[in-house]
């Protein structure tokens, strides 16, 4: 059921979640029962090494959640990270080596006053990927996205995998990027960028209101019959990281996950289901206490992907590999949205109730990570916390090679 969003214009600044030094602990952690041994942190957790702090509770007693970062599969992590250190206020952060990985690079990005996000880029050919090589797929995705940017028309469903940052004049060095020939697109008030060597793009919201005089390609089709409104409540969030958007294969499964697992509230999307059959579908959700928006979009076979693999075909391939209950960690799980929570308990109980495959791993002596796949969509959410009381010793996997299918 779509409920009206309750606007709350109080300040909810995304705080920097401080990086821990190697082996450092988070104070006040709780793990009822046995949570595994004192082995080294599991390498598959990509060493986000973020302290869980300042996390309260949802209305109704659920542990509230806060987005703190994202991990990406990249065919060239150094170049992916360099995009941010060159054109954003970002710096490389030290990471514990990821066993089996070819390369990993992390950056902390300042996206607003006292607001930071950590992006981790990983090339890890040691994990299963099936017969779909990222060395083939990533260049195809890049070409399809750049084609949209340069042609100013058409679309690629891959553009719909993006985070949305609120514009501020210090966020993105746009004039330097233009001088260097960085591909970009202004679509109404949104500036779109491709994150090099990944399957992801980036959206800087409201940028068009300030950058319209610059020679940036534009796509401003005001008569788009597939969009009945440009109103988006998340644009009014007083946070720097306002949303994440996902290209989905099964829109309704994604919506059900947002409501039943995350406790999200659905709001009216600008692309309602009553539009013509050749239009995409979209469902929008708000995590009210964060505040943070999740947008799920499905184009079906109705709009071109410039010859690249469709989202539907990609998801079928990913889901054919994925086996979280067996502890299998595939390459595409390196694409994950990381959420800090005060306790894993409510999410783990909901996941069990829905019988969703999941994986629980200890990060270190204090932090625990819960991985879950959005059914029929190949999307990974990673919950991080220092507390869990409903995980049995057998369910809580120790960080061993067997647990991550080396």
In a domain, 39, yes or no: yes
Q: Output the CA–CA distances (angstroms, integers) from residue 77 to 38, 71, 121, 130, in the order listed.
A: 30, 11, 5, 21
Please check whether residue 350 is in contact with residue 259, taking contact to mean a CB–CB distance below 8 angstroms. Answer: no
Q: Which residues 6+ apart lie within 8 Å of 224 measured at CB? A: none
Question: Does pLDDT of 56 surpass 50?
Answer: no
DSSP state of 106: E
- With a cut of 70, say whether residue 59 has pLDDT above it: no
Q: Does residue 48 fall inside a structural domain?
A: yes
Q: How confident is the model at residue 265 (pLDDT cuts 50, 70, 90)?
A: very high
- Report if residue 281 sits inside a domain: yes
Residue 16 maps to a domain: no
* pTM for the whole structure: 0.83
Spatial distance between the Cα atoms of 307 and 323, rounded to a whole number of angstroms: 29
Model confidence pLDDT, tens digit, residues 142-160: 999 999 999 877 788 999 9
In 3D space, the residue among 290, 291, 385 whose CA is nearest the CA of residue 341 turns out to be 385
Percent of the chain with pLDDT over 90: 58
The answer as to whether 80 is a domain residue is: yes
Q: Map tokens 């990406």 to a residue.
A: 72
Residue 291, preceding bond cis, omega within 30 degrees?
yes
Please compute, for residue 16, the number of CA atoms within 13 A of its CA located in the half-sphere on the CB side: 14
**Residue range 302-319, pLDDT digits in tens:** 555 567 899 999 999 999
Cα separations in angstroms, 159 against 230, 304, 336: 18, 12, 17
Range of the domain at 215: 30-404
Helices (H), 171-243: 174-179, 208-211
Average pLDDT along the chain:
80
The DSSP bridge partners found for residue 70 are 119, 337
Q: How confident is the model at residue 233 (pLDDT cuts 50, 70, 90)?
A: confident
Q: Does 135 reside within a domain?
A: yes
Q: What tens digit of pLDDT does each residue of 106-133 get?
A: 999 999 998 999 999 999 999 999 999 9
Confidence of residue 12 (pLDDT cuts 50, 70, 90): very low
Domain assignment present for residue 20? The answer is: no
How many domains, the chain?
1
CA 17/CA 366 separation, integer angstroms: 15
Q: What is the β-pairing status of strands 241-247 and 292-298?
A: parallel
Tokens of 394: 């057998």
Alpha-carbon gap, residue 72 to 376, rounded angstroms = 20
Please give the pLDDT value at position 244: 97
Specify if 34 maps to a domain.
Answer: yes
- Which pLDDT score, from 0 to 100, does residue 33 have? 37
CA 397, CA 8: separation in Å to the nearest integer?
39
Residue for token pair 């690629």: 156
Cα separation, 263 vs 273, in Å, equals: 22
Q: Which residues contact 363 (CB under 8 A, 6 or more apart)?
A: 41, 42, 45, 49, 369, 384, 399
Confidence (pLDDT) at 394: 57
What pLDDT is stored for residue 396 in this prediction? 66
Which of the four pLDDT bands, split at 50, 70 and 90, describes residue 229?
Answer: low
pLDDT digit string, tens, across residues 172-195: 999 999 999 999 999 888 999 999
> pLDDT digits over 278-295, tens only?
778 899 999 988 899 999
Taking a C-beta distance cutoff of 8 angstroms, is the pair 66, 384 a contact? no
Q: What is the signed CA dihedral for 350, 353, 356, 360, rounded to 10 degrees?
A: 60
Look up residue 4 and give its two tokens: 């009206």
Q: Which residue has tokens 């970009």?
A: 184
Contact between 173 and 88 (Cβ < 8 Å): yes
Tokens of 146: 């750049």
């Amino acid at each position: 059921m779509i409920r009206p969003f309750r606007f709350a214009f109080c300040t909810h600044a995304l705080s920097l979640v401080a990086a821990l030094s190697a082996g450092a602990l988070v104070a006040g952690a709780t793990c009822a029962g046995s949570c595994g041994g004192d082995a080294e942190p599991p390498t598959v957790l990509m060493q986000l090494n973020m302290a869980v702090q300042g996390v309260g509770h949802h209305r109704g007693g659920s542990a509230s959640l806060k987005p703190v970062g994202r991990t990406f599969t990249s065919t060239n992590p150094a170049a992916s990270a360099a995009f941010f250190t060159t054109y954003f206020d970002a710096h490389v952060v030290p990471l514990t080596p990821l066993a089996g990985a070819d390369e990993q690079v992390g950056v902390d990005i300042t996206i607003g006053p006292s607001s930071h996000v950590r992006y981790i880029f990983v090339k890890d050919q040691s994990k299963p990927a099936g017969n779909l090589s990222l060395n083939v797929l990533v260049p195809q995705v890049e070409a399809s996205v750049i084609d949209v940017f340069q042609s100013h028309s058409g679309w690629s469903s891959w553009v719909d995998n993006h985070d949305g940052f609120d514009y501020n004049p210090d966020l993105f060095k746009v004039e330097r990027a233009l001088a260097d020939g960085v591909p970009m697109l202004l679509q109404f008030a949104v500036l779109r960028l491709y994150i090099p060597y990944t399957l992801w793009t980036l959206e800087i919201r409201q940028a068009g209101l300030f950058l319209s005089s610059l020679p940036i390609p534009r796509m401003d089709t005001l008569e788009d019959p597939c969009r009945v409104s440009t109103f988006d409540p998340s644009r009014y969030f007083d946070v720097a990281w306002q949303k994440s958007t996902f290209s989905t294969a099964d829109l309704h499964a994604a919506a059900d996950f947002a409501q039943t697992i995350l406790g999200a509230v659905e709001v009216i999307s600008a692309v309602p289901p009553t539009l013509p059959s050749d239009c995409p579908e979209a469902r929008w959700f708000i995590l009210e206490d964060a505040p943070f928006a999740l947008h799920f979009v499905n184009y079906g076979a109705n709009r071109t992907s410039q010859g690249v693999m469709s989202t539907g075909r990609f998801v079928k391939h990913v889901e054919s590999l994925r086996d979280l209950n067996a502890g299998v960690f595939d390459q595409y799980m390196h694409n994950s949205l990381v959420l800090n929570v005060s306790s894993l308990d409510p999410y783990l109980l909901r996941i069990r109730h829905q019988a969703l495959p999941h994986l629980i791993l200890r990060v270190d002596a204090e932090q625990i990570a819960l991985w879950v796949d959005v059914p029929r969509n190949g999307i990974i959410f990673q919950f991080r916390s220092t507390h869990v009381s409903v995980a049995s010793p057998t369910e809580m996997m120790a960080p061993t090679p067997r647990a991550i299918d080396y």
